[in-house]
Amino acid sequence: MKQARKPNSVPLCSIRFYLLCGVLSVGFVSLMARAVYLQIDKSESLNQQADSRSLRTKGITTYRGDILDRNGVELASSVPVKSVWMDITEVYKKSPLLTEQGWNQLAVVAQKTPKQFKQWIAKRKKRQFVWVARHLDPQMASLVAGLGLPGVFLQDESRRYYPSAEITAHLVGFTNVDDKGQEGLEKSYDEWLTGKPGAEKVVMDLQRRVIEQRNVITEAKTGQELQLSIDSRIQAIAYKALKTAVLKHKAKAGALVMIDIETSEVLALVSQPSYNPNRFDLRLPELTRNRAFTDSFEPGSTAKPFTVASALEAGVVNSATKINTAPGRIKIGRKVIPDGKNHGLLDVAGILQKSSNVGVTKLAMMMQDRDFLKSFYSVGFGVGTASGFPGESPGIFNIRPNWSQVEKATLAYGYGFTVTPIQLAQAYAILGSHGIKRPLSLVKLEQSPNGERVLDEGVASEVVSMMETVVNEGGTGQKASVKGYRIAGKTGTARKAIAGGYGDEYTVFFAGIAPVSNPKVAMVVFVDEPGSEDYYGGQVAAPVFAKVASDTLRLLNVKPDQNVVSNKKMAKSKTQGASNG
């Protein structure tokens, strides 16, 4: 047999082997050299190019400070929301015709039309950024995100929310869509409440989603908290009582102010008609105006206690002095000033109790002008309260150098000048504090501020005692009485001025202090143009005072200072107050 042939072996060191190794080695060395070049020599340049495409400065959302009542109850807070914006240039590049079905859905969410989107694209050279929809709820924001439309993005924002809605609307106010205060204390304390947004470096993908957070450039600072002086419980009581009265008497408007006499903090402040600040469509000028601060009216008979105070301080009368008001009218110049009826001989307390125009006119005529006007100026008529509330009116108290006797007489019973409800409430708080005037405060105070004596202590106390007869049997304000408590107050009914004189419409007031033995609160109830058959202050405003004062005194645990028997007797009284009260 023939032996099998052995196969030829491949040489280990052939030329092709060396050539292959050489090519691979050169390629490897080249790659390494290129890598070193890119990683070392060109790293900075490449990083800059990468960062220019993906690294962005992103704002850090901050929130506006909360607004609280004096007990820490939340009145305004900021909640996170999403807003939709559009990069018009990117939309034009990727979807110029807006043919996708999602655009119709986006138009429905944004309450716009596809035609508006196309108009934005047509004007792309003028602007690149445009808001599509602001402050969407989470459900709508999720829907927009799911559409996946090119050039449409979501952005984190915050929106103001007001839990108590219309109850505190006029005092707290509201912000606009950009979270800037527009009305009320939101506007007054806008800088205090506004936070400072931060900034950070982030890496974004092609869909502008954050995939990496690099570093914080500026820390975000939340706005500072604001604690108000009002008690939300009392505020709710006042709101309900005033709204009920305005509706019952078919009135045009109304306002109520309550002040803590010991500190001059505002415990409640409401205005009617009101609105819901959470709804942009209800923020109408005729609804958002805070009438307690911005509207001024002739106070009518609620000014009479200050005429009496001036007379007592001037020493022209004392509490026992008798004034003859018969026959129920008095002629000053060509003007006849009437009372509702002939009250005859009255002491100074009786003048207030019966709300006698003749009586206060005679008191005014007994005084020099300077002495007569002293208490009016002392309590702050004609100047603002310095509360800081936006748009506050100072009222009108301009006395001509050579004013007539008729002007002097009418001023004595509350005509010829105007005050705001907040001014009148502060004036009565001064009477309740025995002549001490303290700065009015809309924010909670840690301690009672130092006050200034503007009325004699004895005179102020004496006037308050006289005003108590107004609420008792025979007075014009019996409906302001509160079971278990001694109440002092004054009714006011004034015709509204029109061109050439006075019309047939009225403004009515009740201003009061409770309780008399140790005054805690001063309150003014104002109703503008009551349209019912009852249109006197004692009929319209006094019951509101009684309801709010009763609930408030019990809520504040103020000890009753009047026995129940005398109150029952007062409740059974059928004596009607003077018709001009």
Separation CA 106–CA 128 (nearest Å): 19
Strands of 246-293, DSSP E: 253-260, 266-272
Separation CA 126–CA 25 (nearest Å): 57
Cβ atoms of 188 and 388 within 8 Å: the answer is yes
Cβ atoms of 166 and 236 within 8 Å: the answer is no
User: Which of 581, 530, 297 has its CA nearest to residue 416?
Assistant: 297
Separation CA 489–CA 143 (nearest Å): 60
Summarize the chain as % helix, strand, coil (round to 5): 40, 25, 35
What pairing do the DSSP bridges indicate for beta strands 74-87 and 436-437? unpaired
Separation CA 420–CA 417 (nearest Å): 11
User: Which of 355, 357, 363 has its CA nearest to residue 490?
Assistant: 355
| Catalytic status, residue 232 | no
* Catalytic member of 164, 301, 387, 550: 301
The helix (H) or strand (E) run that includes residue 170 is helix 169-172
Cβ atoms of 379 and 452 within 8 Å: the answer is no
Residue 257 β-bridge partners: 269, 524
Residue with the two structure tokens 């060109």: 42
- Compute, in degrees rounded to 10, the torsion defined by CA atoms 272, 277, 282, 286: 40
Cβ atoms of 559 and 471 within 8 Å: the answer is no
Asked if the bond preceding 530 is cis, omega within 30° of 0, the reply is no
Residue 528 β-bridge partners: 253, 507
Active site residues: 301
